Amino acid sequence: MRDTQGSYFTGYVTILIKGDRPELFFQKCMDKGITVWNVRKLADDQCEGNIKLYDIKQIKELRRGTNYKINFTKRKGYPFLFRRFIRKKQVLIGLLLSLLLIIFLSNIIWEVKISGVPKDIEEKISKQLDSYGIHPGSWIFSLDSPNAIQQKLVEDVPELLWVGVEQKGTTFFLEGVEKIIVKEEEIKGPRNLIATKKGIIKKMYVSKGLPKVEVNDYVKLGDVLVSGIINGSEEEDETDKKAKKLELVAAEGEITATTWYEVTVTVPLKGVHEELTGNQEKKYYLRFGEFRLPVWGFNSPEYDHIHREINEENLKLFNWNLPVKIGESILSEKSTTEMNRSKEEAVQVGISQAKSELKLQLGPKAQIISEKVLQETTDNGKVKLNLYINVEEDIAEAQPINQGD
């Protein structure tokens, strides 16, 4: 019996032998080592039996030279079933379409779940996510990785301390932790305000403490501007310790001073400038290994200079990466312009460059009052500028008073 087991999978046929003493044909099969089963004699000259599908060739060879007639009466087993299935085109197409549908649907976000934060922040997060293109119904492969989303969210929603983004199949789980914004009351100990830079005092506004300088005074780095010791000076303090009890406060105030900087910048006279004109064309394709199958966008644009940007994403079926990638290539028109600056223009560019650099260094509160070109040299097609820039800024910095006991 073991020989006939599994014959359903490999397929078998029932053959009907016609001729004189048909059972002897099966005897011949047996001698050849062909398994035959369910042999039945139907009539004196008819006998049927089952043989395996892959033995048919041998059977046909055996038949040659004899005067038996073979009819195949039944075909059974998986191969025949499969062939019948293949022949039904509609079913096959349906199967293919449903497979595509599964792939299609499993690449779509179905749900975005936000947990761990109150409703208003939830709303904010979902709005933010919408702006990133994460909402039910969007393609998964068009999104950034969860890590990148996490980072962006934390940056864009200031109320969030932390957010965990996890993608489980077609669902995005977001777990947020709200930032409890508590303005920490600074515990102010007694302190002085000292100068952080040398400069000339322009404006003083002292709300607490004893001013030590006046407007138009020149101060150096580390000079005390506002003292936190209200009663008596420090010298007195040392000589006359017990006589006066010192009152220490946390000095507070804003001291604006004019400071100056010397900045050196170099500006090339010639420059090549690349910029995108805004004309662009998008192409979409599916990539199987090295082969690219264009899906959309077939003709190449007629741009002189092209900037190519390629984004590729894996298609996924549940958790597996399919060997198919969907890609988008953006062809943007690029124009290069060569710039020739005159010396005056270069100087202007240099000054504004130096200003913006300085502004960036000093912060938004600083104000640039005036600038002066100290020195200007040209060599190798470059203009080298030595600039002197006057700035108004807050130079006060708190320094705690060491009470020393």
Binding site for another protein (CB under 8 A): 1, 3-4, 21, 23-24, 26-27, 29-31, 33, 35-41, 44, 47, 49
Structure tokens at 236: 């007195």
Structure tokens at 121: 């922040």
Minimum CB separation of residue 9 from another protein in Å reads 18
- Angle of helix 89-105 relative to helix 78-87, nearest 10 degrees, comes to 80
- Select 47 or 201, whichever has its Cβ closest to another protein: 47
The sign one gets for the Cα dihedral 197, 200, 205, 210 is: positive
- Select 32 or 203, whichever has its Cβ closest to another protein: 32
Minimum CB separation of residue 110 from another protein in Å reads 56
Phi and psi, residue 70, nearest 5°: -115, 130
Alpha-carbon gap, residue 120 to 159, rounded angstroms: 10
Judged by DSSP in three states, 60 sits in helix
Minimum CB separation of residue 68 from another protein in Å reads 15
- Select 30 or 374, whichever has its Cβ closest to another protein: 30
- Select 41 or 382, whichever has its Cβ closest to another protein: 41
Phi and psi, residue 244, nearest 5°: -115, 135
Q: How far is CA 299 from the centre of its chain?
A: 29
Minimum CB separation of residue 111 from another protein in Å reads 59
Minimum CB separation of residue 67 from another protein in Å reads 18
- Select 40 or 69, whichever has its Cβ closest to another protein: 40
Question: What angle (nearest 5°) sits at the alpha carbon of residue 348, between those of residues 345 and 353?
Answer: 125
- Select 42 or 86, whichever has its Cβ closest to another protein: 42
- Select 21 or 365, whichever has its Cβ closest to another protein: 21
Phi and psi, residue 224, nearest 5°: -75, 125
Minimum CB separation of residue 55 from another protein in Å reads 12
Judged by DSSP in three states, 68 sits in coil
Alpha-carbon gap, residue 312 to 328, rounded angstroms: 6
Cβ atoms of 282 and 330 within 8 Å: the answer is yes
* Beta-carbon contacts of residue 103 (< 8 Å; ≥ 6 apart): 315, 317, 322
- Select 36 or 391, whichever has its Cβ closest to another protein: 36
Q: In 89-120, which positions are buried (b, 16+ CB within 10 angstroms) versus exposed (e)?
A: eeeeeeeeeeeeeeeeebbebeebebeebeee
- Select 26 or 172, whichever has its Cβ closest to another protein: 26
Cβ atoms of 197 and 260 within 8 Å: the answer is no
